[in-house]
Amino acid sequence: MANTPDSILHPQTPGRAAQQARTMGEQTGKIAADVRELGSMAIGSASEALESVKERGAEVLENVKERGGEVLEDTRERLGRAKDGFGDYVAENPFKSVLIAAGIGALIGYSLRSRN
C-alpha cells in the first residue's frame, strides 16, 4: 500500500468537509473584501488623477487665453501699422499704385479665365 492516496486511507468525515467548506468560505470572503478594497483604492487613485488633469487643463486654458489675447493685440497693432503704411504709400505714389493694382487684377483675371 505504498502508492495509495490519502483520501482512500483516510476518507473525509462529514465534520471535516464542513470545516473545509467554512475555511473556503472565509477565504473567499477575505478575497472578496480585498478585491473591494483594491477597487476602492483604484477609484480613489483615478479620482485624484482626474482632479489633477482638470486642474492642469484649467491652468493651460488660462495660459492659452492670456497668450491668445496678447497675440491678437499684437496682430491688430501690426495690421494697423501696415494699413497706415499702405495708405501712405498710395498717397505718395498714386500712379504706381494704380498700375500695380491693374497688373494684379490682370493676373487674377488671366488665371481664372476659362480654358475652352
Distance CA 60, CA 57 (A): 5
6-25 pLDDT, tens digit each:
555 555 556 677 777 778 87
DSSP alpha helices (H): ranges in the chain? Answer: 6-9, 14-92, 94-112
Residues 6+ apart with CB under 8 A from 9: 1
Place of cell 500500500: 1
Its pTM surpasses 0.75: no
Q: pLDDT tens digits for 70-93? A: 888 889 999 888 888 888 888 888
